[in-house]
Amino acid sequence: MSRERLLAALVEAGREHSNTAVMFHAAVSARMGLGMTEEKTLDLLQRLGPLAAGEIAEHSGLAPASVSGLIDRLERKGFVRRIRDTEDRRRVIVEIRYDSIAGFGVLFEDLVRGLEGLYATYTDEQLELILDFLRRSAEVQRAATAGLG
């Protein structure tokens, strides 16, 4: 396949991957009673631990003003709580209320199982290349998101 065709195929596959990810998370979010940005913010907090609003903005690429409303919505719905930073009492940290998300892991079971089966078809070297691509493309997308804010 020529480089031109390969790059076009990558663009198309990337768009398809993005669409399927968005649709999956839209379905998961709806089942959780959340918007997709709310669901993905919970994912950030699960992966990174409690964060300040500015850190959520930094990791998500969202504008700080958007993050304040986002945290308000998550708090009203009972998914997060604001706590004072023990080292800097002026700073507020957002943490997940794990009791509120306890039953939602089942929504991801089919996806996780399917991905584990897919990963098993690749060599360690191929997985390292895929991992590098995913990390670097996430950074490109994060920067593009911040540019829209």
Domains of the chain: 3-148 (1.10.10.10)
**At residue 14, what are phi and psi to the nearest 5 degrees?**
-60, -45
Task: Return the amino acid letter for 7.
Answer: L
Q: Tens of pLDDT along 77-108?
A: 999 999 988 888 778 899 999 999 999 999 99
* Mean of pLDDT over the chain: 93
Token duo for residue 90: 């002026």
Task: Give CA torsion, residues 116, 117, 122, 123, to 10 deg.
Answer: 70
Per-residue pLDDT for 149 more than 70? Answer: no
The encoded tokens of residue 8 equal: 């076009």
Residue 146's pLDDT is what?
Answer: 77
Higher pLDDT, 45 or 92: 45
* Residue 48 scores a pLDDT above 70: yes
Q: What is the DSSP letter of 90?
A: T
